[in-house]
Chains A and B, each alone.
Chain A
Amino acid sequence: MKNRIALLFSGAILLGLSSCQSVKEYNKMYLNDSEMALTARKTQKSEMNFMLYREGASGANGGKTGGGCGCN
């Protein structure tokens, strides 16, 4: 089941990338909105840190994968 979800996700990525539009700067009103930033929020800094300690998985989210603290 989980493998199917991963496959579906991969398919969605490939489909998405293949249908990209070239968006001009003057058409980026929505993309440049602060809520559209493709990064974690500043308010997520501490919660990403506690999840690094409390969960076995980490990384691929702009945060750390380990090291720098006595975490997992």
Chain B
Amino acid sequence: MQKLFLGASAFYLSIVCSFAQSPAPDSAAYQSRKLKLDEVDFVSSYYVQDGNHSAVTGGKGDEHLTDFANALQLNFLRTDSRQRLHTFGLELGIDHYTSASSDKIDSTTISSASSADTRYYPSLSWSMHDEPKHYTVGVGLLFSTEYDYFSSGAFVSYSKFSEDNNRELGLKFNVFLDSWKVIYPVELRGFDTPTGRIENPAARGTKPRNTYNGSFSLLQVISKRLQVALLADVAYQSGQLGTLYQRVYFTDGSHNVERLPESRFKLPVGLRSNYFLGDKIVFRSFYRYYTDDWGISAHTLELEVPYKFSPFFSVSPFYRYFTQTAADYFAPYRQHQASEEFYTSDFDLSAFDSHFIGTNVRFNSANGILGINHLNTLELRYGHYSRTNGLQANIITLAATVK
């Protein structure tokens, strides 16, 4: 919580400094085409979880984890000579997490380096909106790096709007080419032989993990108060999909690292629906059905009801229900046979229901908030998450938009 306030304070100071001298307004049409900073988004959150089914220790053990995440996005605008609007996005995210279970990868140390890590994820994007021709195209590059994982990704997107702007059809294709440093639990990094201990050759090097994702979206205005979006993804993953520092204990007392297939096909389909009731209440709903070829099928249902106390202030209680079946390869601690081809005791892949409940508070004003002229939107969100297998989590998020 203290970190969240520190992050917010740093952000406040950066806004005050960056807008201390406002530029003179453009007068000539030529000048209005210049690249200008349009929007700055800042999101800071603190997440904490507790449970007793750590996958690192075979589905049994402390799951305490904290994550302090911060992301800053800058959006620049430029209009070209054909009156097409270009948006350039630059984002930097930094997450710092501590994990009790990661510390058990190498339990021979009192506190190993794996007990905490920092993830950096910069990205660049560009999109062009052509209003007369009713379409938008975009491309982007995404990167992520942490101690044992490096990811580089890219996307292309295309959206077509109807002439009355009541319908939008969107297509997007993403690819992530990731590389995972092999880290085995300390006791599985070598074998004891009559001549001494030898190194396990599988416990070193890096492994690839590639993800290809196609997204389809159809946004439709139904009436003056109702609009819906139909969303569908088709995703294919290949490479190292199991986590090599997660242990699995077998019925005979032996243990090994998690083994999962080297490919996975995912098919989620979702529907968003927003309805404005009267002048003060909005119903924001979301439903998703998910299935994959590992045997997981899931339903997600979300309902959020913003109540607008004024055009500038709203409070939105929300509830999310999620249920999933277990992956074919899941079994709890000491319930797998050593002869099985694939095995995991990761409870994220078990059958469970989860409930997520909380509130979002939102201020927005074109004239500024808290005395900051350019601060356009300020949001605070808290949520409590609970799973039927015992995992509990809390998350608090602060988001600010400066225009």
State A60–B243 Cα separation when bound (angstroms): 24
Q: Which of A35-70 contact B (CB under 8 A)?
A: 35-38, 41-47, 49-51, 53-62, 64-70
A-B CB contact pairs (8 Å), 24 listed: A20-B221, A21-B223, A29-B224, A31-B227, A35-B314, A38-B229, A41-B379, A42-B401, A43-B45, A43-B379, A46-B47, A47-B45, A54-B49, A54-B354, A57-B268, A59-B233, A59-B235, A59-B268, A59-B288, A62-B231, A66-B237, A67-B151, A67-B176, A68-B176
**Given A45-B397, A47-B381, A66-B213, 19 new contacts (CB under 8 A):** A5-B299, A17-B228, A23-B221, A24-B164, A27-B224, A31-B227, A36-B274, A38-B227, A41-B379, A47-B45, A55-B298, A57-B322, A59-B235, A59-B270, A60-B270, A60-B288, A66-B211, A67-B209, A68-B144
Q: CA of A21 to CA of B298 in the docked complex: distance in angstroms?
A: 33
Flag the segment in B28-36, B127-135, B189-197, B279-287 that touches A. B279-287
- The answer to whether A23 and B224 have CB atoms under 8 Å apart is yes
B299 touching A13, Cβ below 8 Å: no
Residue B257 CB within 8 A of the other chain: no
- Cβ of B227 and Cβ of A36 under 8 Å apart? yes
Per-residue interface assignment for chain B, residues 295 to 336, with 1 indicating a CB less than 8 Å from any chain A CB and 0 otherwise: 010111000001010000010100000101001000000000
- Contact between chains at A55 and B211 (CB < 8 Å): no
Asked whether A69 lies within 8 Å of B144 as measured between CB atoms, the reply is: yes
Cβ contact within 8 Å between B227 and A65:
no
Contact across chains for A50 and B67 when beta carbons are under 8 A apart: yes
- Measured in the bound complex, the distance between the Cα atoms of B276 and A51 in whole Å is 28
Shortest distance from the beta carbon of B20 to any chain A beta carbon, whole Å? 25
How far does the alpha carbon of A21 sit from the alpha carbon of B264 in the complex, in Å?
A: 41
B221 touching A21, Cβ below 8 Å? yes
**Of A36, A51, A60, which one neighbours B233 at CB under 8 angstroms?**
A60
Residues in B whose Cβ lies below 8 Å from that of A56: 290, 292, 294, 296, 298, 324, 327, 348-349
Residues of B that sit less than 8 Å from A by CB: 41, 43, 45, 47, 49, 67, 69, 71, 119, 121, 142, 144, 146, 148-149, 151, 153, 164-166, 174, 176, 178, 180, 209-211, 213, 215, 219-233, 235, 237, 243, 264, 266, 268-272, 274, 276, 282, 284, 286-290, 292, 294, 296, 298-300, 306, 308, 314, 316, 322, 324, 327, 346, 348-349, 354, 356, 360, 362, 364, 377, 379-381, 383, 385, 387, 391, 393, 395, 397-399, 401
A42 to B379, CA, bound (A): 9
Note all chain B residues with C-beta closer than 8 A to A36. 227, 274, 276, 282
State A11–B270 Cα separation when bound (angstroms): 14
Question: In the complex, A35→B292 CA distance in Å?
Answer: 32
A53 to B387 Cα, complex, angstroms: 13
| Residue pair A60, B231 in contact (C-beta under 8 Å) | yes
